[in-house]
């Protein structure tokens, strides 16, 4: 099925996918400046926040929002506050996830984790500040009242009680238990997938996409989220510490359930391919009725997930 769609679109998608690279070269610096700008005053809380934002990751979530806007040929700047908000939430989640009470990691992104560089109380408070500031940032004048309300609800739902926090809780509760695949998928949908879903929905809202398109974009987020997690599990198993910026085999040593531990290496790789194909299909479905949609911005994200 996917092959048929790709044939239809042949010539439209660049062979070498450069769209996301271009978007990054134009907006990465602006994003990084905007992320740091509220925290310039000199105090311990800001120092701790700046530490985690400066040792930055891939900024996947902000660029998912920008990619949707680019695909619809909209101004990228309208996605900035929605993008800042999700990166603040993501950064808080990593700071808290590294704490001894959670995943107990001394390193993140190749440097000391926040609580090791500072102390636990400071790390907890930096996470709390980022979590709450994310919602403040969504109240920007750039958005109408209706859009502010919708973005706030989307972010609360995806990051909180029914989303990432629930996923993290289920994950912690499942340690030392043998999960079935269905239970593992539920954890990942909540723990990592929900924030990806926020990104695609926020992009779709700001681009004024139709309901039908939004459904396809949510499907992309779901498949991309699962593919991302399978890829993460495989990396954990196959890649060195240096390449990932943290210790190897962390999940196994905590007795966690992963795709390779449940399915075996080959099946896990096959599951990754299947999810990537379904994500592609979801995006290409939009092209079938919207000829000026530019799928390459989203398809490029799947290139991150090579093993």
Name the site residues for ligand GRG (rule: CB under 6 A): 57-58, 60, 90, 93-94, 96-97, 102, 109, 164-165, 168, 191-192, 229, 232
| Residues 257, 219, 202: CA angle, nearest 5 degrees | 105
Smallest gap, in angstroms, from Cβ of residue 67 to ligand GRG? 14
Smaller CB separation from ligand GRG, 192 or 201: 192
Smallest gap, in angstroms, from Cβ of residue 94 to ligand GRG? 6
Smallest gap, in angstroms, from Cβ of residue 97 to ligand GRG? 4
Measured CA to CA, the distance from residue 143 to residue 248 in angstroms comes to 43
Smallest gap, in angstroms, from Cβ of residue 101 to ligand GRG? 10
Smaller CB separation from ligand GRG, 168 or 204: 168
Q: Please report where in the chains the tokens 């949609």 appear, as a residue.
A: 293
Query: What contacts 155, CB < 8 A, 6 or more positions away?
Result: 85, 86, 89, 134, 135, 138, 198, 202
Helices 194-206 and 60-71: crossing angle in degrees, nearest 10, is: 30
Smaller CB separation from ligand GRG, 97 or 222: 97
Smaller CB separation from ligand GRG, 93 or 214: 93
What SS3 class is residue 107?
Answer: strand
Measured CA to CA, the distance from residue 209 to residue 72 in angstroms comes to 8
Smaller CB separation from ligand GRG, 71 or 86: 86
Q: Say how many CA atoms lie within 13 Å of 223 toward its Cβ.
A: 22
Smaller CB separation from ligand GRG, 14 or 100: 100
Measured CA to CA, the distance from residue 111 to residue 62 in angstroms comes to 22
Smaller CB separation from ligand GRG, 191 or 294: 191
Q: What tokens does 306 get?
A: 């090579």
Smallest gap, in angstroms, from Cβ of residue 53 to ligand GRG? 10
Smallest gap, in angstroms, from Cβ of residue 191 to ligand GRG? 5
Beta bridge partners of 237: none
Q: What tokens does 7 get?
A: 């044939």
Query: What contacts 169, CB < 8 A, 6 or more positions away?
Result: none
Smallest gap, in angstroms, from Cβ of residue 231 to ligand GRG? 9
Q: Are 237 and 306 in contact (CB under 8 A)?
A: no
Nearest residue to 76 (alpha-carbon basis) of 215, 206, 196, 221:
206
In angstroms, how far is the first alpha carbon of the chain from the final one? 24
């Amino acid at each position: 099925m996917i092959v048929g769609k790709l044939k239809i679109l042949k010539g439209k998608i660049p062979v070498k996918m450069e769209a996301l690279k271009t978007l990054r070269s134009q907006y990465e610096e602006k994003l990084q400046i905007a992320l740091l700008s509220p925290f310039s005053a000199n105090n311990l809380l800001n120092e701790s926040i700046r530490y985690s934002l400066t040792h930055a990751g891939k900024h996947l979530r902000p660029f998912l929002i920008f990619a949707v806007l680019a695909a619809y040929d909209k101004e990228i700047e309208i996605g900035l506050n929605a993008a800042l908000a999700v990166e603040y939430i993501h950064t808080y989640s990593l700071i808290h996830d590294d704490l001894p009470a959670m995943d107990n990691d001394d390193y993140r992104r190749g440097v000391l984790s926040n609580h090791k560089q500072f102390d636990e109380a400071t790390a907890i408070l930096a996470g709390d500040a980022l979590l709450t500031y994310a919602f403040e940032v969504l109240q920007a004048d750039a958005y109408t009242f209706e859009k502010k309300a919708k973005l706030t609800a989307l972010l609360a739902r995806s990051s909180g009680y029914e989303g990432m926090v629930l996923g993290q809780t289920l994950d912690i509760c499942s340690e030392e238990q043998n999960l079935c695949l269905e239970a593992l998928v539920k954890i990942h949908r909540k723990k990592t997938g929900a924030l990806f879903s926020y990104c695609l929905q926020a992009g779709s809202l700001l681009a004024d996409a139709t309901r039908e398109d939004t459904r396809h974009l949510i499907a992309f987020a779901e498949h991309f989220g699962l593919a991302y997690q399978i890829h993460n599990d495989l990396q954990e198993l196959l890649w060195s510490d240096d390449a990932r910026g943290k210790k190897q085999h962390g999940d196994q040593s905590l007795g966690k359930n992963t795709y390779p531990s449940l399915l075996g290496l080959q099946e896990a790789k096959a599951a990754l391919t299947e999810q990537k194909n379904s994500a592609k299909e979801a995006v290409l479905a939009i092209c079938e009725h919207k000829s000026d949609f530019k799928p390459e911005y989203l398809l490029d994200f799947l290139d991150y997930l090579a093993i």
